[in-house]
Structure 1
Amino acid sequence: EEQCYACKVLIDGSDVPSCKLPVSQAQGSEITTVEGLGSAATIHPLQEAFMEEQAIQCGYCVSGMIMAAQGLLNRTRYPTDDEIRAALDGNLCRCGVYERVRRAIKLRIGRPQWDPIYEMIDAPPLSNTPAPRQGLPGPLQQTPDLDAWIRINADETITVFTGKVEIGQGIKTAVAQLAAEELDVALSRIRVVAVDTELSPDEGTTAGSMSVENSGSSVRQAAAEARHHLLNLAHEELEAECTPGALA
Structure 2
Amino acid sequence: MAELVYPPVIGAARTLFKTLDLKFDIAGTENIPQRGGAVLVSNHIGYLDFVFCGMAARPAKRLVRFMAKESVFRHKVSGPLMRAMKHIPVDRTQGVHAYKHALSALRSGEIIGVFPEATISESFTLKNFKSGAARLAQEAGVPLLPMALWGTQRLWTKGHKRQLGRHHFPITIRVGEPVAADPADQVEKITDRLRARVQDLLEAAQRAYPVRPRDADDTWWIPAHLGGTAPAPGRGA
TM-score (norm 2): 0.22
Q: Which of the two has greater strand per residue?
A: 2
Query: Which structure's residues are more often helix, by fraction?
Result: 1
